[in-house]
Amino acid sequence: MKTQKKDFKMAESNTSFRDKISTDRNQLQINQSFIEGVCFSNHLYNYLGTISVAVLTAIDMTDLPITILFDKCVGGVCFSLKAENPVFSSLNEFSAEGNDTMLLLSLLADGTDIREDGRVLDLMFAVNGIDQELAMQRQEKLSSYSLQKVKVF
Mind listing the pLDDT tens digit for each residue in 105-131? 888 888 888 889 889 999 999 887 666
Sequence-separated (6 or more) residues with CB below 8 Å from residue 85:
64, 119
**The pLDDT of residue 78:** 92
Q: Please tell us whether the domain made up of 19-152 is placed in CATH 3.30.565.10.
A: yes
**Nearest-angstrom CA–CA distance, 44 and 71:** 13
67 forms beta bridges with: 22, 82
Characterize 81-108 residue by residue with b for buried, 16 or more Cβ atoms within 10 angstroms of its Cβ, and e for exposed: bbbeeebbeebeebebeebeebbbbbbb
Cβ proximity of 82 and 107 under 8 Å: no
**Nearest-angstrom CA–CA distance, 52 and 85:** 23
pLDDT band (50, 70, 90) for residue 135: low
**The pLDDT of residue 17:** 47
The predicted model scores a pTM of 0.73
**Nearest alpha-carbon partner for 109 in 47, 59, 63:** 47
In the predicted model, is pLDDT for residue 86 greater than 50? Answer: yes
Q: What is the mean pLDDT of the chain?
A: 76
